[in-house]
Amino acid sequence: MSQVGQLVFDEYGKPFIILKDQDKKTRLTGIEALKSHIMAARAVSSTMKSSLGPKGLDKMMVSQDGDVTVTNDGATILGMMDVEHQVAKLMVELSKSQDDEIGDGTTGVVVLAGALLEEAEQLLDRGIHPIRIADGYEQAAHVAIKHLDSIADSFPVDPNNLEPLIQTAMTTLGSKIVNRCHRQMAEIAVKAVLSVADLPHKDVDFELIKVEAKVGGKLEDTQLVHGVVVDKDFSHPQMPKMVKDAKIAILTCPFEPPKPKTKHKLDVTSVEDFKAVQRFEKEKFDEMVKQVKATGANLAICQWGFDDEANHLLLQNELPAVRWVGGPEIELIAIATGGRIVPRFSELTPEKLGYAGLVRQLSFGTTKEHMLVIEQCHNSRAVTIFIRGGNKMIVEEAKRSIHDALCVIRNLVRDNRIIYGGGSPEISCSLSVNTAADKCPNLEQYAMRAFADSLEVVPMALAENAGLNSIQTLAAIRAQQLKESKPWLGIDCMNKGTNDMKEQHVVETLLAKKQQILLATQVVKMVLKIDDIRSSGEKMD
């Protein structure tokens, strides 16, 4: 008899599972244990199902500190859930691996894995051994992957024709909070990736794309800057707010007098001694500023701070400066401007300066907040996506959405094959797997049919979240795909009056869909082979 579980939430909004009469039950092993593991994984999957698709609902996650996150990104939701059961943790890891490898499809992969486990439970009740189920799933996955290759279309990644790429990015962003301006966001993501992409080698360096955000304004104010945006301003309020033809000294040494590296101490016993120290410090400051000016630099960017005296001297010498610029930011500035990071003033030479056509200070509304924009750089490949939004939650969700879109375009640069979305590939693969199951003479045919049924859970969830009659809609599209041999017919989530995903321009990358099926199958195979959970050092019963 399988256990009955209930998904409940604590006072922090974190979900956990209560097993019925769990305090009275003895340790479960074998098939009973396997069914309890399946139930835990299914509980995670059912939590995610309502977030699938363009009409999927968001989750509000509350941390122990009371911080609120509103998102429908699968990896983010699962990463913030406090999951106790070890098998449920495998589902969290599954979503994370999809996010790390592909960047998109994190909700779909968990929903598919949950459906596979649900079908496996019914096969276990019929007396089929877990290993035979796992083998059948493996065979079905190979059939599905092969079928996806056969129905995929490809288009050239052409910088002169961005429309196919934009349509793909729009499909990704359609389920996100930014969907009211998702055309603009898609264009920004495409242009950002193509700015840094090495098309001949099919490679994209994500290090050159920085995503910066500032609360205030509206989502439509989001822009792509061909350069670097730094959340800093000039060190002195009287320094110029704009520097044209900037020759930038990028320093990781502080503007301060040298300190003894040993444990010696300096005793100041008289006014003359104090004045001598003061004179020495001023001379050192003068020397540092002159060393920078001598190279022809007209802007200094420093990783460390400098005190008021150094700041005043920089102003007097008409050398604008920015201080406390973080390590990753200073590296990006060096890449963008073609400059070298200099660890000592004595090593600074004109050849090590970076160049930018314009460095300007951005001000926001009536607040005193400023940011620095470095544009028209020597290496124009480095770009920054500057996101605006009404509050912190919207800005953070927009950052996650943009990240997904960037990953999808990166995947298209790596492999330009696409399939059409709306659940159409799952329905088509389900039909293909069912056909293969009819030809399988072994017991695995039952597992293959179960795999085909599991694939249909994704389009059913899409239809359900869109407010349609899920079973009726799915049955109609299956029949239409069989009759017309059109694998691009899917769920009309947006109520546009047509099931043709080509016509609706709902596009997904082949890479992401194949990875979803492979990862879900691998994790389900792993779960089916677990019949007991023990802690290290635990005594045997």
Residue the block writes with tokens 């877990």: 130
DSSP string, 475-541: HHHHHHHHHHT-TTB---TT--S--BHHHHT-EEEHHHHHHHHHHHHHHHHHHHT------TTPPP-
**Which amino acid belongs to residue 256?**
E
Distance CA 233, CA 359 (A): 11
Distance CA 303, CA 18 (A): 51
| Collapsed DSSP state (helix, strand, coil) of residue 242 | strand
- Report pLDDT for 522: 92
- Report pLDDT for 541: 55
**Is the CB of residue 481 less than 8 Å from the CB of residue 428?**
yes
User: Residue 404: which of 197, 154, 161, 175 has the closest Cα?
Assistant: 175
**Is the CB of residue 299 less than 8 Å from the CB of residue 243?**
yes
**Is the CB of residue 191 less than 8 Å from the CB of residue 381?**
no
Residue by residue, pLDDT tens for the chain (541 residues) are: 445 566 666 666 666 666 655 544 445 556 777 888 888 888 888 888 888 888 888 888 888 888 888 888 888 888 888 777 788 888 888 888 888 888 888 888 999 999 999 999 999 888 888 899 999 999 999 999 999 999 988 877 777 788 888 888 888 887 777 777 888 899 999 999 988 888 888 888 888 888 988 888 888 888 898 888 888 888 888 888 888 988 999 998 887 776 666 666 777 778 888 888 778 877 888 888 888 888 888 899 988 887 777 888 888 888 898 988 887 888 888 888 888 998 888 888 889 898 888 898 888 776 777 888 888 877 667 888 999 888 888 888 888 889 888 988 888 888 888 888 888 999 999 999 999 988 888 888 999 999 999 999 999 999 998 888 889 999 999 999 888 888 888 888 888 888 888 888 888 888 889 999 999 999 999 988 887 777 666 665 5
Roughly how many angstroms between the first and final C-alpha of the chain, as a whole number? 22
Residues 47, 76, 106, 222: which is the catalytic one?
106
Residues 107, 168, 171, 384: which is the catalytic one?
107
**Is the CB of residue 230 less than 8 Å from the CB of residue 329?**
yes
Distance CA 380, CA 474 (A): 48
- CB atoms closer than 10 angstroms to residue 328: 10
- Is 106 marked active-site? yes
**Is the CB of residue 356 less than 8 Å from the CB of residue 248?**
yes
**Is the CB of residue 9 less than 8 Å from the CB of residue 59?**
no
- Residue partners of 291: CB distance under 8 A and separation at least 6: 345, 346, 348
- Residue partners of 76: CB distance under 8 A and separation at least 6: 61, 69, 400
- Is 252 marked active-site? no
Helix residue ranges per DSSP H, 50-105: 74-80, 86-101
User: Residue 312: which of 239, 369, 361 has the closest Cα?
Assistant: 239
Helix-then-strand count for the chain, H and E? 17, 19
Distance CA 336, CA 383 (A): 8
- Report pLDDT for 258: 67
Distance CA 39, CA 56 (A): 23
- Residue partners of 240: CB distance under 8 A and separation at least 6: 234, 320
- Is 366 marked active-site? no
The radius of gyration of the chain from alpha carbons, rounded to an integer in Å, stands at 29
- Is 273 marked active-site? no
Distance CA 101, CA 386 (A): 25
∠119-123-126 over CA atoms, to 5°? Answer: 145
**Is the CB of residue 506 less than 8 Å from the CB of residue 74?**
no
**Which amino acid belongs to residue 166?**
I
* Strand 68-71 to 153-154 pairing: unpaired
DSSP string, 285-354: HHHHHHHHHHTT-SEEEESS-B-HHHHHHHHHTT--EE----HHHHHHHHHHHT--EESSGGG--GGG-E
Residues 47, 69, 71, 73: which is the catalytic one?
73
Domains of the chain, each with CATH number or no CATH: 5-154+419-528 (1.10.560.10), 158-226+380-415 (3.30.260.10), 230-374 (3.50.7.10)
List, in sequence order, every residue forming a beta bridge with 500; answer none if it has no partner. 489
Look up the pTM and report it.
0.79
User: 358 — phi, psi (to 5°)?
Assistant: -155, 130
Residues 135, 404, 492, 500: which is the catalytic one?
404
Residue the block writes with tokens 């030479």: 349
